[in-house]
Amino acid sequence: MDNSKKNRKVSKKSDSEYKKFFLRRTVKFEIAILIVFVLLIGRLAWIQFVNGSEYKEYAYEQQTMNQIISPKRGTIYDSTGQPLAISADVDTVTINPSEIEYENGDKVEPEKIAKAFSDIFALDYNEVLEKVNSDSMIETIARKVENDKIILLENWLDENDVTSGVNIDDDTKRYYPHEDLASQVIGFCGTDSQGLEGLESYWDSVLTGTPGKTVYSKSVINQEIPETESTYIDAENGSDLVLTLDINIQEIAEKYLEQAVKENKCTRGGNVIIMDPSTGDILAMATYPNYNLNTPFEPYTDSLKGSWETLSSEERVTALQNTWKNRAVSDGYEPGSTFKLVTASIALEEGLVQTDIPNDFTCNIIENVDGVEISCWRTYGAHHGQSLREALGNSCNPAFIQLGRRIGAETFYKYFNAFGFFDTLNSGLSGEVSRLFSRLR
């Protein structure tokens, strides 16, 4: 009897403890759920209000496609209206490797598409196959492709029912119809139609223009979603450039420059500049050896072709850069006897000499200047007494050394500055260097 009552008391006590235990677990569970809920709300708030703009930008990039529309580069003309550099319409071929499919949705065999590309565009099969098997979203197969190659590709795609994954986009390519004419002056462009040398480089911002673009919504397989909003911004073509060069005079200058260099075995080549004396317009500017603007990275002259295979990659780059250089503006040149006209004009302006005073200057073959002996070109007989007019006609060095002493260094430099000899010409030609003068002591 007493034991039965005791057991009932124990049972009642156990039920009470169980209920309390269950209640505690329930409260803890609810608290845990509440904490997780609060954390989720906090995370959502962080994403929405702190990182919202960043994720919005990510989403926009994933959901939209920007297709760049290349502008046509401006044309370079000579003074007679003949085109020296033009841009023509071509195409660039790219692929989306994971999306190259037949019309029925089956995947195109990588080997099959790689074989077609390598045959049509004369590319290395293994390199193309690597691109076709790539995990990249997009791979470029061929750039600046002529229309005849594009027709072959389109025919192959039609014949083999390949309907997606191969893209043909409009592009432009730079051509030089006269090939090597004025090559160092005109320069050339790179694969992205950016100017690399010559006028193409110096006037790149003027010739380039402004790219346009088409913006549209895309699906997960990078195809345009129909009936969605799209934006089209037309490309602005580059401005044209008209030179003072005359193509006919340029051709004559280059012909006889090449002849003179070869006949006189001038190992460093040569330069010719032909100027209109009344306007200062440059009618021709020729440098030899020159190069083909359509293939600027290939050896052009016979001498360079002969040694090309023996040159290292660094030597090849140096050889090409030396060929591209417009030496008429990039290399220093001592004017020599032509500078006697400047000396004479200074002396006349300063009233230090008259043109026809007999025996104003004396030529004894050699004139000593600070211990340096400078001789007259006429070593077989002195000019003796001369007027300024006669000294100019004779191009007599001793006479002009004597005249230079009358003028003095300070006056010389005053006129050098007035003539603009310390300034660059701002000719608009790439690679122009400033003048070199000794310091005034």
Query: For residue range 87-141, what is the model confidence (pLDDT) as tens digits?
Result: 988 888 998 888 888 888 888 898 999 999 999 999 999 998 999 888 888 889 9
Q: Which stretch of 11-25, 90-104, 146-160, 244-258 has the lowest confidence by average pLDDT?
A: 11-25
Within a domain: residue 139? Answer: yes
Give the model's pLDDT for residue 82.
Answer: 95
Angle between the 397-407 and 409-419 helix axes, to the nearest 10 degrees? 90
Look up tokens 């293939």; give the residue.
295
Predicted TM-score (pTM) of the model is 0.69
Cα distance between residue 142 and residue 125, in whole Å: 13
Instruction: Share the mean pLDDT of the chain.
Output: 84
Phi and psi torsions of 375, nearest 5°: -105, 160
Residue 426 has pLDDT above 80, yes or no: no
Do 344 and 404 lie in a common domain?
yes
Give tens-digit pLDDT for 140-188. Answer: 999 888 889 999 999 999 999 888 889 888 888 899 999 999 999 999 9
Do 118 and 188 lie in a common domain?
yes
Q: Are 410 and 440 a contacting pair, CB within 8 Å? A: yes
Cα distance between residue 66 and residue 45, in whole Å: 31
Q: Are 303 and 198 a contacting pair, CB within 8 Å? A: no
Q: Which residues of 252-282 are buried (b: 16+ CB within 10 A; e: fewer)?
A: ebbeebbeebeeeeeeebbbbebeeeeeeeb
CATH number (domain holding residue 344): 3.40.710.10
The better pLDDT of the pair 417, 27 is held by 417
Task: Supply the range of the domain harboring residue 293.
Answer: 247-317
Within a domain: residue 425? Answer: no
Do 22 and 152 lie in a common domain?
no
Do 164 and 188 lie in a common domain?
yes
Do 132 and 232 lie in a common domain?
yes
Look up tokens 């071509």; give the residue.
90
